[in-house]
Amino acid sequence: MTQTMPIDGKFQLMELPYAANALAPVISEETIGFHHGKHLQAYVNNLNGLLPGSPYEGLSLEEIVVKSDGGVFNNAGQILNHNLYFSQFAAPKADNKPVGKLAEAIQTQFSSFETFKEEFEKKGATLFGSGWVWLSADKDGKLHITQETNASNPLTKGLTPLLTFDVWEHAYYLDYQNRRPAHLASLWQIVNWEEVEKRF
């Protein structure tokens, strides 16, 4: 996958590819403000503070996620997860569906997009505590839906991450309070399937 390199020893806060209010009402401008501007910024600041003098100086974000543990892993993992998360969305669209080879793979492996969505939402809804539900691909192009707790990413299992829903409460509490399943079900309207397909 694409490698994210530090600039002058520091990782940067990723820029959103849309306006902060573009995903509303699925994700409000207020949630984007806290989630991207505060939570993600804090992970970036934390990692940049931990790197000097560590064995991870000069490595890409993806290499750090694969090789590190403890605080470095938690912050690097959260940056990579959020970079993939925020860059996979676009303004809400009715009847939003996967495209290209990924659409074919979903159809073949899950029998329908509806079945795939049900399984993905269920894995997100039943993940206990904080974490992420992921769609990823193995080296043979087979798709996998996995639950990753806390800051983990399928990259640590040798899989290529494609799509992710963040189930940390900070991702949805302002807009949906405790209704995590309702939040997950609404996210399909804003998935940018062209971007997700590119990762496949």
* Phi and psi torsions of 197, nearest 5°: -65, -35
Closest CB to Mn ion among residues 107, 150: 150
Question: Quick check: 134 binds Mn ion (CB under 5 A)?
Answer: no
Gap between the Cα atoms of 88 and 194, Å rounded: 9
Region from 15-23, 58-66, 119-127, 163-171 binding Mn ion, contact rule CB under 5 A: 163-171
The 10 Å Cβ neighbour count of residue 126 is 12
Size of the site for Mn ion (CB under 5 A): 3
Closest CB to Mn ion among residues 143, 190: 190
Closest CB to Mn ion among residues 168, 193: 168
Do β-strands 131-137 and 143-149 pair in parallel, antiparallel, or remain unpaired?
A: antiparallel
Query: Are 44 and 11 within 8 A, CB to CB?
Result: yes
Structure tokens at 73: 């892993």
Gap between the Cα atoms of 12 and 45, Å rounded: 9
Region from 52-60, 132-140, 148-156, 158-166 binding Mn ion, contact rule CB under 5 A: 158-166
Gap between the Cα atoms of 88 and 65, Å rounded: 20
Task: Among 74, 166, 184, 199, indicate the residue that binds Mn ion (CB under 5 A).
Answer: 166
The 10 Å Cβ neighbour count of residue 103 is 15
Site string for Mn ion, 167-186 (x = CB under 5 A): -x--x---------------
Closest CB to Mn ion among residues 56, 168: 168
User: Where do contacts with Mn ion occur on this chain (CB under 5 A)?
Assistant: 166, 168, 171
